[in-house]
Amino acid sequence: MKKTLISTCAAACIAALAGCAQSEPAPAEPDHSAHAEHSEHSEHSEHSGHSGHSGHNHPADGGPVPAGMAEAADPTYPVGTKVTLAADHMPGMEGAPATIVGAYDTTAYAVSYMPTDGSEPVANHKWVVQEEIKGAGKETLAAGTEVTLEADHMPGMKGAAATIDSSTDETVYVVDVEADGMTMTNHKWVVESEIRAS
């Protein structure tokens, strides 16, 4: 009796699995054409957690800039200028309209870091400025330099161990931007090459 019951269960499982194998294969790339209006919002929702560089969880208000930052004397885009962003730091940012709320002379760094909250490592995060790196001093830090972040742009960033990936001495801007259905004020940072005149 036991052998018959086990044989019957095994046969049923094999039949069920065989039925699954005969169903139509899933397409390699999902068709999002029917969801074009929702694609950007969905992408932001899927990536709003802190899972590597593809997702960002920026606050709605980025808050003040670090103390001691030098305002740019003659920026290409003065405070109040309406611009279009060419940066792709987060979903919906590229092509988004923005307003310049600050322009600064400093060094900006792309960094890779291990978040302090146990999230996935973040690669090539753009940007962290000189004043947001513990003990950075005034000299530009070389690629490969290991540092500790004082920036608090996203959860798990402040106090994180990081490595400098690259740097730029372009003018660095703070912007108010509407990206992916979210209005952000004092968003830090966008460098000059990532901005277009509106």
94 close to 43: Cβ distance less than 8 angstroms: no
Per residue of the chain (198 residues), give pLDDT as tens. 444 433 443 444 333 333 433 333 333 333 333 323 322 222 332 233 333 334 455 567 788 999 999 999 999 999 999 999 999 888 899 999 999 999 999 999 999 999 999 999 999 999 999 999 999 999 999 999 999 999 998 999 999 999 999 999 999 999 999 888 889 999 999 999 999 999
133 close to 141: Cβ distance less than 8 angstroms: yes
What pLDDT, on a 0 to 100 scale, did the predictor assign at position 32? 32
DSSP secondary-structure letter at 149? B
SS3 category, 129: strand
What pLDDT, on a 0 to 100 scale, did the predictor assign at position 109? 98
What pLDDT, on a 0 to 100 scale, did the predictor assign at position 59? 64
Q: What is the pLDDT of residues 51-74, one digit of tens each?
A: 333 445 556 778 899 999 999 999
User: In this structure, what token pair is assigned to residue 49?
Assistant: 């957690």
Hey, where are the domains in the chain?
A: 53-197
User: In this structure, what token pair is assigned to residue 164?
Assistant: 């400098």
102 close to 174: Cβ distance less than 8 angstroms: yes
55 close to 180: Cβ distance less than 8 angstroms: no
Spelled out in words, what is the top-level CATH class assigned to the domain 53-197?
Answer: mainly beta
Nearest Cα residue to 140 out of 168, 114, 98: 168
What pLDDT, on a 0 to 100 scale, did the predictor assign at position 60? 77
What pLDDT, on a 0 to 100 scale, did the predictor assign at position 57? 58
